[in-house]
Amino acid sequence: MSPEEIRWKLEFYRDLGIKDIYRRTSQPSSEPIDLMPITTPIELPSLAPSGDTLERICSDIGDCKRCRLSLTRNKIVFGVGNPQAKIVFVGEGPGADEDAQGIPFVGRAGQLLTQMIEGTAAKEGIPLKRADIYICNVVKCRPPENRTPEADEMEICGQFLFRQLSAIKPIAICALGSTAAKALLGGKDGVTKLRGKWLKWNEIPLIVTYHPSYLLRPYNQNAKRESWEDLKKLLHFAFD
Protein backbone atom coordinates (compact mmCIF):
# COMPACT_ATOMS: atom_id res chain seq x y z
CA MET A 1 0.00 0.00 0.00
CA SER A 2 1.42 3.40 -0.99
CA PRO A 3 1.95 6.25 1.54
CA GLU A 4 -0.88 8.16 -0.16
CA GLU A 5 -3.32 5.25 0.33
CA ILE A 6 -2.22 4.81 3.95
CA ARG A 7 -2.72 8.50 4.58
CA TRP A 8 -6.25 8.54 3.12
CA LYS A 9 -7.23 5.53 5.25
CA LEU A 10 -5.78 7.03 8.45
CA GLU A 11 -7.46 10.37 7.74
CA PHE A 12 -10.78 8.57 7.18
CA TYR A 13 -10.60 6.77 10.52
CA ARG A 14 -9.37 9.89 12.31
CA ASP A 15 -12.29 11.92 10.91
CA LEU A 16 -14.63 9.25 12.27
CA GLY A 17 -13.29 10.03 15.74
CA ILE A 18 -11.12 6.93 16.08
CA LYS A 19 -8.13 7.95 18.20
CA ASP A 20 -6.54 4.57 18.99
CA ILE A 21 -5.32 1.88 16.64
CA TYR A 22 -4.47 -1.67 17.65
CA ARG A 23 -1.69 -4.07 16.77
CA ARG A 24 -2.24 -7.81 16.65
CA THR A 25 0.36 -9.82 18.56
CA SER A 26 1.49 -13.26 17.45
CA GLN A 27 -0.80 -15.98 18.79
CA PRO A 28 -1.47 -19.57 17.85
CA SER A 29 -4.55 -19.78 15.67
CA SER A 30 -6.48 -21.67 18.38
CA GLU A 31 -6.03 -18.95 21.01
CA PRO A 32 -7.91 -15.63 21.27
CA ILE A 33 -6.34 -12.75 19.39
CA ASP A 34 -4.54 -10.32 21.67
CA LEU A 35 -4.95 -6.75 20.45
CA MET A 36 -2.36 -4.35 21.82
CA PRO A 37 -3.42 -0.67 21.81
CA ILE A 38 -1.06 1.83 20.23
CA THR A 39 -1.69 4.99 22.21
CA THR A 40 0.73 7.31 20.44
CA PRO A 41 -0.87 9.90 18.10
CA ILE A 42 -1.56 8.68 14.59
CA GLU A 43 1.30 9.85 12.37
CA LEU A 44 0.08 10.60 8.86
CA PRO A 45 2.58 9.97 6.07
CA SER A 46 3.22 13.10 4.02
CA LEU A 47 1.60 13.49 0.62
CA ALA A 48 4.59 15.54 -0.48
CA PRO A 49 7.89 13.65 -0.85
CA SER A 50 10.97 15.22 0.71
CA GLY A 51 12.59 17.73 -1.63
CA ASP A 52 9.56 17.79 -3.93
CA THR A 53 9.64 20.08 -6.97
CA LEU A 54 7.13 21.18 -9.57
CA GLU A 55 9.13 19.32 -12.21
CA ARG A 56 8.91 16.08 -10.22
CA ILE A 57 5.17 16.52 -9.64
CA CYS A 58 4.56 17.14 -13.34
CA SER A 59 6.61 14.06 -14.17
CA ASP A 60 4.62 11.97 -11.67
CA ILE A 61 1.36 13.07 -13.27
CA GLY A 62 2.67 11.96 -16.64
CA ASP A 63 0.01 11.16 -19.22
CA CYS A 64 -2.53 10.82 -16.43
CA LYS A 65 -5.34 8.27 -16.84
CA ARG A 66 -6.37 8.19 -13.17
CA CYS A 67 -9.94 9.44 -13.68
CA ARG A 68 -12.61 9.82 -16.35
CA LEU A 69 -11.56 13.36 -17.24
CA SER A 70 -8.65 11.89 -19.18
CA LEU A 71 -11.11 10.43 -21.69
CA THR A 72 -12.18 13.82 -23.08
CA ARG A 73 -9.25 16.16 -22.46
CA ASN A 74 -6.78 17.37 -25.05
CA LYS A 75 -3.99 18.54 -22.76
CA ILE A 76 -3.17 18.28 -19.08
CA VAL A 77 -3.11 21.79 -17.60
CA PHE A 78 -0.54 21.57 -14.83
CA GLY A 79 0.12 25.16 -13.78
CA VAL A 80 2.15 28.19 -14.77
CA GLY A 81 4.16 30.93 -13.14
CA ASN A 82 6.97 31.56 -10.71
CA PRO A 83 7.93 28.41 -8.75
CA GLN A 84 8.98 30.69 -5.87
CA ALA A 85 5.81 32.79 -6.05
CA LYS A 86 4.61 34.60 -2.95
CA ILE A 87 1.00 34.06 -4.06
CA VAL A 88 -0.68 31.05 -5.66
CA PHE A 89 -4.10 31.43 -7.32
CA VAL A 90 -6.15 28.22 -7.46
CA GLY A 91 -9.10 27.91 -9.84
CA GLU A 92 -11.61 25.16 -10.52
CA GLY A 93 -10.51 23.49 -13.75
CA PRO A 94 -9.42 24.19 -17.32
CA GLY A 95 -11.84 25.54 -19.92
CA ALA A 96 -11.73 25.08 -23.69
CA ASP A 97 -8.89 27.55 -24.30
CA GLU A 98 -6.83 26.09 -21.48
CA ASP A 99 -7.49 22.56 -22.71
CA ALA A 100 -6.22 23.54 -26.15
CA GLN A 101 -3.08 25.35 -24.96
CA GLY A 102 -2.21 23.44 -21.79
CA ILE A 103 -1.94 26.69 -19.80
CA PRO A 104 -4.37 27.76 -17.04
CA PHE A 105 -6.44 30.94 -17.29
CA VAL A 106 -5.75 31.98 -20.88
CA GLY A 107 -9.37 32.44 -22.02
CA ARG A 108 -11.66 35.40 -21.26
CA ALA A 109 -11.69 34.62 -17.54
CA GLY A 110 -7.90 34.32 -17.53
CA GLN A 111 -7.48 37.62 -19.33
CA LEU A 112 -9.71 39.26 -16.75
CA LEU A 113 -7.72 37.68 -13.92
CA THR A 114 -4.48 39.04 -15.42
CA GLN A 115 -6.01 42.52 -15.69
CA MET A 116 -7.27 42.33 -12.11
CA ILE A 117 -3.91 41.24 -10.70
CA GLU A 118 -1.77 43.67 -12.65
CA GLY A 119 -4.28 46.53 -12.46
CA THR A 120 -4.75 46.25 -8.72
CA ALA A 121 -0.99 45.95 -8.17
CA ALA A 122 -0.33 49.06 -10.26
CA LYS A 123 -2.95 51.11 -8.39
CA GLU A 124 -1.51 50.01 -5.05
CA GLY A 125 2.08 50.75 -6.09
CA ILE A 126 3.15 47.09 -6.03
CA PRO A 127 5.53 46.00 -8.83
CA LEU A 128 3.79 42.76 -9.77
CA LYS A 129 3.00 41.02 -13.06
CA ARG A 130 1.16 37.79 -13.75
CA ALA A 131 4.48 36.02 -14.34
CA ASP A 132 5.46 36.74 -10.74
CA ILE A 133 2.67 34.63 -9.26
CA TYR A 134 1.67 30.99 -9.78
CA ILE A 135 -1.67 29.82 -11.15
CA CYS A 136 -3.12 26.31 -11.15
CA ASN A 137 -6.44 24.49 -10.82
CA VAL A 138 -8.03 21.91 -8.56
CA VAL A 139 -8.30 19.47 -11.49
CA LYS A 140 -5.76 19.37 -14.28
CA CYS A 141 -8.07 18.19 -17.09
CA ARG A 142 -11.09 19.97 -18.52
CA PRO A 143 -14.44 18.58 -17.31
CA PRO A 144 -16.81 17.97 -20.25
CA GLU A 145 -18.89 21.05 -21.10
CA ASN A 146 -17.10 22.89 -18.28
CA ARG A 147 -19.19 21.09 -15.65
CA THR A 148 -18.18 21.24 -12.01
CA PRO A 149 -15.59 18.56 -11.18
CA GLU A 150 -16.94 15.52 -9.32
CA ALA A 151 -15.75 14.75 -5.79
CA ASP A 152 -13.68 11.73 -6.83
CA GLU A 153 -12.02 13.72 -9.63
CA MET A 154 -11.03 16.45 -7.20
CA GLU A 155 -9.75 13.88 -4.70
CA ILE A 156 -7.54 12.19 -7.28
CA CYS A 157 -6.11 15.49 -8.55
CA GLY A 158 -6.00 16.86 -5.01
CA GLN A 159 -2.81 14.98 -4.19
CA PHE A 160 -1.01 16.87 -6.95
CA LEU A 161 -2.45 20.24 -5.91
CA PHE A 162 -1.30 19.49 -2.35
CA ARG A 163 2.19 18.80 -3.62
CA GLN A 164 2.24 21.92 -5.81
CA LEU A 165 1.33 24.17 -2.91
CA SER A 166 3.74 22.37 -0.58
CA ALA A 167 6.60 22.70 -3.08
CA ILE A 168 6.01 26.40 -3.76
CA LYS A 169 5.38 27.34 -0.10
CA PRO A 170 3.69 30.66 -0.92
CA ILE A 171 3.07 33.40 1.61
CA ALA A 172 -0.63 33.28 0.71
CA ILE A 173 -3.14 31.37 -1.42
CA CYS A 174 -6.15 32.78 -3.25
CA ALA A 175 -9.02 30.38 -3.95
CA LEU A 176 -10.97 31.50 -7.01
CA GLY A 177 -14.60 30.45 -6.65
CA SER A 178 -16.57 28.03 -4.51
CA THR A 179 -15.15 24.82 -5.99
CA ALA A 180 -11.57 25.82 -5.23
CA ALA A 181 -12.56 27.01 -1.76
CA LYS A 182 -14.31 23.75 -0.93
CA ALA A 183 -11.42 21.67 -2.28
CA LEU A 184 -8.84 23.56 -0.23
CA LEU A 185 -10.84 24.09 2.96
CA GLY A 186 -12.91 20.93 3.01
CA GLY A 187 -16.16 22.69 3.91
CA LYS A 188 -19.41 23.38 2.12
CA ASP A 189 -19.63 27.18 2.32
CA GLY A 190 -19.51 29.24 -0.86
CA VAL A 191 -17.69 32.44 -1.75
CA THR A 192 -20.24 34.84 -0.23
CA LYS A 193 -19.78 33.31 3.22
CA LEU A 194 -16.02 32.84 3.02
CA ARG A 195 -14.68 35.94 1.28
CA GLY A 196 -13.37 38.96 3.12
CA LYS A 197 -11.56 37.05 5.87
CA TRP A 198 -8.34 35.17 6.27
CA LEU A 199 -8.53 31.39 6.46
CA LYS A 200 -5.80 28.74 6.34
CA TRP A 201 -4.71 25.83 4.18
CA ASN A 202 -2.08 23.68 5.90
CA GLU A 203 -1.04 26.71 8.00
CA ILE A 204 -0.70 28.95 4.91
CA PRO A 205 -3.01 32.02 4.96
CA LEU A 206 -5.77 31.71 2.37
CA ILE A 207 -8.31 34.17 1.04
CA VAL A 208 -11.38 33.33 -1.06
CA THR A 209 -12.75 35.51 -3.83
CA TYR A 210 -15.00 35.19 -6.87
CA HIS A 211 -13.92 33.25 -9.93
CA PRO A 212 -13.23 35.60 -12.87
CA SER A 213 -15.81 33.78 -15.04
CA TYR A 214 -18.47 34.84 -12.53
CA LEU A 215 -17.31 38.44 -12.80
CA LEU A 216 -17.73 38.39 -16.59
CA ARG A 217 -21.49 38.34 -16.15
CA PRO A 218 -22.84 41.92 -16.53
CA TYR A 219 -25.07 41.85 -13.45
CA ASN A 220 -22.27 41.17 -10.96
CA GLN A 221 -21.04 44.71 -10.36
CA ASN A 222 -20.96 44.35 -6.58
CA ALA A 223 -18.92 41.18 -6.90
CA LYS A 224 -16.36 43.04 -9.01
CA ARG A 225 -15.92 45.66 -6.32
CA GLU A 226 -15.62 42.97 -3.64
CA SER A 227 -13.03 41.09 -5.69
CA TRP A 228 -10.97 44.24 -6.01
CA GLU A 229 -11.05 44.64 -2.22
CA ASP A 230 -10.02 40.99 -1.79
CA LEU A 231 -7.08 41.41 -4.17
CA LYS A 232 -5.92 44.56 -2.42
CA LYS A 233 -5.93 42.73 0.91
CA LEU A 234 -4.09 39.77 -0.61
CA LEU A 235 -1.39 41.83 -2.34
CA HIS A 236 -0.66 44.04 0.65
CA PHE A 237 -0.44 40.98 2.90
CA ALA A 238 2.10 39.31 0.61
CA PHE A 239 4.19 42.30 -0.41
CA ASP A 240 4.07 44.91 2.36
Same domain, 118 and 217: yes
Q: Tell me what the pLDDT averaged over the chain comes to.
A: 88
176 within 8 A of 90, measured Cβ to Cβ: yes
Helices (H), the chain: 3-15, 54-61, 96-101, 108-123, 151-168, 178-185, 191-194, 212-215, 221-239
Q: Report the C-alpha gap between 93 and 71 in whole angstroms.
A: 15
pLDDT tens figures, 46-57 = 667 889 999 999
- Best CA proximity match to 143, nearest among 211, 71, 81: 71
Say how many domains are in the chain.
2
Domain that holds residue 18: 3-38
Q: Is the pLDDT confidence value at 29 over 90?
A: no
What average pLDDT does the segment 125-139 reach?
97
Same domain, 34 and 80: no
Same domain, 96 and 27: no
pLDDT tens figures, 70-92 = 999 999 999 999 999 999 999 99
pTM, two decimal places:
0.82
Residue 50 resides in a domain? no
Same domain, 79 and 166: yes
Residue 47 resides in a domain? no
Q: By three-state DSSP, how is residue 97 classified?
A: helix
Residue 54 resides in a domain? no
Residue 44 resides in a domain? no
